[in-house]
């Protein structure tokens, strides 16, 4: 300790440093904190990653104890330390920036040092008295950053996966509920921002629910398959150097039990240590979800545009005043924010893709960026979906009469009449309506092309929004 008793002196390969006396991390973590002032996002920002790191260390300690390489006293102390972290305690001690050089060594040492010092306290020793229990020799026994870190990333993603699915499922159900509420509201469908053919507002919202539901199923089924294969036991490059021959099977088995996820050893540990393919695929699935969310939010902003000079078929819940200069203006701020989240997730995917490509030989040193972007995308998407559902979707209302008027006044309505009056007549009526500004139905009645009974039948909602084969008249 220093004279002020506010620091303790620790040593490593490069020399000595004063570490804050109350810190559970040690000298290698401190060096990383001083080196990497980049994202400003520490490891503690992603609790599932911290928990996963503790679970990996617990599984390793269990395997080493069972194989006779770790004493009972050290095993109990390490187990107590890991239990604290798994419960969510002491996460503030994980202070290294998510973006770091060294292929994740700083993250691994942050975990090793915190666990070691918590264990030392449990054993009745002061922090930093590593002769009694060492971060590398004991906590990191039979491990390398190159197998412990990627295993923790995979496990951390699995631990947070259910929460992401729950948010997505809730959003799907919110859209589905609106599709039922709006099932009776006729409106004009649009392609290329031009009038197309009639549909219901309920069908439009059902399509939103369906497209997101597809991603829900893909994430539910495919993502776990991508992440359960781990390279724990491969140590430095996948050869398993410095690990007991029986260590890998025991450690992975224990990790599966501790985490509750069906983790399994990678078939080829050398391949698994360097390959980032699973992360690339998982990130692309998150990007796909982001793209869909952004497209839906674009539609919501268009459908609610105006209110007097736009489409104005739906009303988004007003969340805040929209202008510092235009009184009465209310903007679609919730969909706008989701759009921006989507752009960020798409950018994360590109950064991750470049990082995955940049691997060389037996290791990918860019793995910290891969981890950061994956956890960041999940966090952003989850928050964005919850916000969109709570602050927008559940409160959307429809302007039913306006929807009907737009449809009946649309030239696109002529498509529904085409099988009855023929393509030539339909084209001519559409042209007249466009030039004169008069309605299609008005012109059809004026020329007595169809009687009122036939028109009423054609315009029945159930006949306009689903297949109906009608022989074309000569």
Catalytic residues: 323
Contact 254/59 with Cβ under 8 angstroms?
Answer: yes
Structure tokens at 241: 């150097």
Contact 200/183 with Cβ under 8 angstroms?
Answer: yes
- Burial class from Cβ neighbours inside 10 Å (0-12, 13-18, 19+) for residue 459 reads middle
**What letter would DSSP give residue 473?**
P
Helix ranges restricted to H, 87-144:
105-123
- Burial class from Cβ neighbours inside 10 Å (0-12, 13-18, 19+) for residue 129 reads middle
Residue 329 to residue 301: CA distance in whole angstroms? 14
Name the nearest CA neighbour of 64 among 137, 153, 152: 137
**How big, in percent rounded to 5, are the helix, strand and coil portions of the chain?**
60, 10, 30
Residue 96 to residue 110: CA distance in whole angstroms? 7
194-200 and 186-191 beta bridge pairing: antiparallel
**66: which residues sit within 8 A by CB, 6+ positions away?**
250
**210: which residues sit within 8 A by CB, 6+ positions away?**
none
Residue 400 to residue 182: CA distance in whole angstroms? 9
Greatest pairwise CA separation for the chain in angstroms: 104
Q: Cα 83 vs. chain centroid, distance in angstroms?
A: 27
Contact 393/178 with Cβ under 8 angstroms?
Answer: yes
- Burial class from Cβ neighbours inside 10 Å (0-12, 13-18, 19+) for residue 259 reads buried
């Amino acid at each position: 300790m220093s004279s002020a008793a506010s620091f303790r002196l620790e040593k490593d390969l490069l020399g000595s440093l004063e570490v804050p006396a109350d810190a559970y991390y040690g000298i290698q973590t401190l060096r990383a904190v001083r080196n990497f002032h980049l994202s400003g996002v520490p490891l503690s920002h992603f609790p599932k990653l911290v928990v996963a790191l503790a679970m990996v260390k617990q599984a390793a300690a269990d395997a080493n104890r069972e194989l006779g390489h770790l004493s009972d006293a050290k095993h109990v102390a390490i187990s107590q330390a890991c239990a604290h972290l798994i419960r969510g305690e002491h996460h503030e001690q994980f202070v290294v920036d998510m973006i770091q050089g060294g292929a994740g060594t700083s993250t691994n040492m942050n975990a090793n040092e915190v666990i070691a010092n918590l264990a030392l306290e449990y054993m009745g020793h002061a922090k930093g008295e590593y002769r009694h229990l060492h971060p590398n020799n004991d906590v990191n026994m039979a491990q390398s950053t190159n197998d412990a870190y990627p295993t923790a990333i995979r496990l951390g993603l699995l631990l947070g996966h259910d929460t992401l699915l729950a948010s997505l499922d809730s959003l799907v159900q919110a859209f589905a509920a609106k599709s039922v509420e709006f099932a009776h509201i006729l409106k004009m469908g649009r392609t290329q921002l031009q009038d197309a053919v009639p549909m219901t507002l309920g069908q439009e919202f059902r399509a939103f629910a369906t497209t997101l539901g597809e991603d829900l199923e893909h994430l539910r089924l495919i993502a776990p398959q991508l992440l359960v294969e781990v390279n724990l036991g491969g140590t430095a490059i996948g050869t398993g150097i410095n690990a007991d021959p029986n260590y890998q099977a025991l450690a992975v088995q224990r990790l599966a039990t501790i985490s509750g996820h069906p983790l399994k050893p990678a078939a080829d540990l050398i391949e698994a240590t360097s390959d980032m393919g699973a992360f690339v695929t998982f990130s692309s699935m998150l990007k796909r979800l982001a793209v869909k969310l952004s497209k839906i939010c674009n539609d919501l902003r268009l459908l609610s545009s105006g209110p007097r000079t736009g489409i104005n078929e739906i009303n988004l819940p007003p969340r805040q005043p929209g202008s510092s200069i235009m009184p009465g203006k209310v903007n679609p701020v919730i969909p706008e924010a989701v759009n921006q989240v989507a752009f960020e997730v798409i950018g994360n995917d590109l950064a991750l893709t470049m990082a995955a490509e940049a691997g060389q030989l037996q290791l990918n040193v860019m793995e910290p960026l891969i981890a950061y972007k994956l956890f960041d995308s999940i966090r952003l998407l989850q928050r964005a979906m919850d916000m969109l559902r709570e602050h927008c979707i559940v409160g959307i209302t429809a302007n039913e009469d306006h929807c009907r008027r737009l449809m009946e006044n649309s030239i696109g309505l002529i498509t529904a009449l085409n099988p009855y009056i023929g393509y030539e007549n339909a084209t001519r009526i559409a042209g007249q309506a466009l030039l004169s500004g008069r309605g299609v139905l008005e012109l059809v009645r004026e020329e007595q092309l169809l009687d009122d009974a036939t028109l009423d039948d054609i315009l029945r909602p159930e006949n306009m929004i689903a297949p109906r084969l009608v022989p074309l008249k000569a």
